[in-house]
Amino acid sequence: MKKIFCIFSLINFAFLNAQIKISEPEFSGNIVYVNDSVGSGIKLEQQTASGSTKANGASYVPVVGLFAGKATSKNIVKGSTSSIQIEQSKKISFIIKVSDNSIDPTTMVNIFKLNSESDSRTIEISSAKVIGGEKSGDIKYLSFNGKKYGQSSYLIEVDNIEKGEYAITLSSRRDLFNMFGIK
């Protein structure tokens, strides 16, 4: 009987210690990486993205008698990599402070990969061709599991994220990028 009690106690102890006990971020809109099961986490790099539209010169296509050209709109942030670099693992967790955590987090939170360039990180949001029409950026949002955490936060868990640079945005401010890299 003592052996069964000891085994049960060890399992219970391990389960309780696996629980995350990180304090909620101080302000709504702040996001922290859960780097341990206790403490305050690591606040993600935060930048306001700027917009940029580039167009290549239109050229005359004699076969169809039309001009052809393309314009691309992107959101851009400074720096080719984030100051917050996370080791690649099976599951990565974040705590996101919001004003109201009664809303389904999948409708409020977007996580997406950025293209790393020489001095910036970008995401294409739309493109248009003179011939061929217009399309919005085919942003591939990462799926995640989310649940309520604390008084007004979410615990977000992303599985099997590949190496690269990423941003998290909230519905309240899609231009405010909370960024991290996976190394």
The answer, yes or no, to whether residue 162 has pLDDT greater than 50, is: yes
Delineate the domains of the chain, giving CATH numbers in brackets. 21-50+76-122+138-182 (2.60.40)
Q: What is the pLDDT of residue 127?
A: 72
Residue 7 confidence (pLDDT): 45
Question: Which residue's structure tokens are 């009690």?
Answer: 5
Diameter over CA atoms, the chain? 90
Other beta carbons less than 10 A from residue 41's beta carbon: 21
Kindly report, residue by residue over 65-107, the tens digit of the pLDDT. Answer: 455 567 788 999 999 999 999 999 999 999 999 999 999 999 9
Q: What percent of the chain has pLDDT over 70?
A: 78
pLDDT digits (tens, 9 = 90+) for 25-34: 999 999 999 9
Helix (H) or strand (E) run with residue 14 in it: helix 2-18
Q: Which of 7-11, 26-30, 57-61, 158-162 has the lowest mean pLDDT?
A: 7-11
Mean pLDDT of 123-144: 76
Q: So what's the pLDDT on residue 37? A: 75
Q: What is the model's pLDDT at position 73?
A: 86
DSSP state of 106: G
Residues, the chain, total? 183
Whether the pLDDT of residue 6 is over 50: the answer is no
Contact call for residues 139 and 150 (beta carbons, < 8 A): no
Percent of the chain with pLDDT over 90: 63
Q: What is the mean pLDDT of residues 148-173?
A: 96
Per-range mean pLDDT, top range of 67-76, 108-117, 123-132:
108-117
pLDDT at 12 over 50: no
